[in-house]
Structure 1
Amino acid sequence: MNSEFTIAVHSLVYLAYLPDHMASSEMLAENVCTHPARIRKIMSSLRRSGFVKTKEGIRGGYMLNCCPEDTTLAQIYHAVSYGTLKPSWCTGNPEQPCLVSANIQTVMDGIFHDAEMYLEAYLGNITIESVLKKIKKCP
């Protein structure tokens, strides 16, 4: 999994914390501790998926465009990180006479697919609002 999911959740929770306020990419980047260009890339995916709306120009930025109580982390994961649980490097060689080398990639693909399904099911039970509530309980 890549860090885009965590950055997306952080950004959406921050916007939920400041309802009806516009946040610039610089403001979000400072809060998330990353570069504004990275924020803009991730927020672009979130905008395409309808989680945020944007306003360009002076005093522009991002605003929450979804209901925090109804928006699940599974929806966010699907928008920005789906398919990233599986490593990009594959092991094995289907052309090899070795049983393990010839079949490991197929078996591991199935394992990662199942793990992603379990992860999405788990994340489907967590909303932006529930994350914000947990944050508010922290000392």
Structure 2
Amino acid sequence: MLFERKPTKQPFALLFLDLNKFKPLNDTFGHDKGDRALFETAQRIQSVLRDHDVVARLGGDEFVVLLREVKELSDVEKIIARLHEEIQQPLDFCDGFSLGASIGLAMYPEHGQDGASLLNYADQEMYNDKQRTRTVR
């Protein structure tokens, strides 16, 4: 479970990631390569995180990241930028095809006091990010 049962006073961030271009990858290269891309993406996400952070796959091409002990929003923004960089690197086993990610952010306690509220907020922010990136690309 991502959230401890005891309330905390320590700020943390919750990121909701949805992969971009995953369906075309699956359709073009097959489900085996899609599964491999999910595994590699999870490793790339983990490589950006600190030892005390947590990543979990929700299902499909969605991931949640819990960034513990967040002191500054700018620290979270740096991690998000690094996540974008890592995820956008070409996949060697798919002829250099690359994915992207839409990422939503929820901060505790500003955006919610419980896991469900924070997840809902981060999910909505992820959809907002997806809309912004569609108009840019």
TM-score above 0.5: no
Higher helix share: 1
After TM superposition, the score normalised by the length of structure 1 is 0.31
Larger gyration radius, structure 1 or structure 2: 1
- The answer to which structure has the higher strand fraction is 2
TM superposition score normalised by structure 2: 0.32
